[in-house]
Amino acid sequence: MESILQNIDLFERLHGGEQIKCKVCGKGSIKPMGNKPIEEEYCFECNHCGAHYRYDPVVVTVE
């Protein structure tokens, strides 16, 4: 459970525009993979080693 909470915090920080070092290589930084605005991006990768970070948001629609 702790790693899930850490990952959610990671994506909140990325969506906030914070520069975060890669946890895999420790040399590169995590950047968005696509051309979407940062708030809408859910796939990120390290610009040094290519490690991927993906987040699948939970969407709940109440009618």
Strand partners, 29: 21
Tokens of 35: 């051309």
- DSSP β-bridge partners for residue 45: 31, 52
Each residue's pLDDT tens digit, 3-49 = 454 667 888 888 888 899 998 999 999 999 888 888 888 889 999 99
pLDDT score, position 1: 36
Q: Using alpha carbons only, give the angle 31, 50, 6 rounded to the nearest 5 degrees.
A: 60
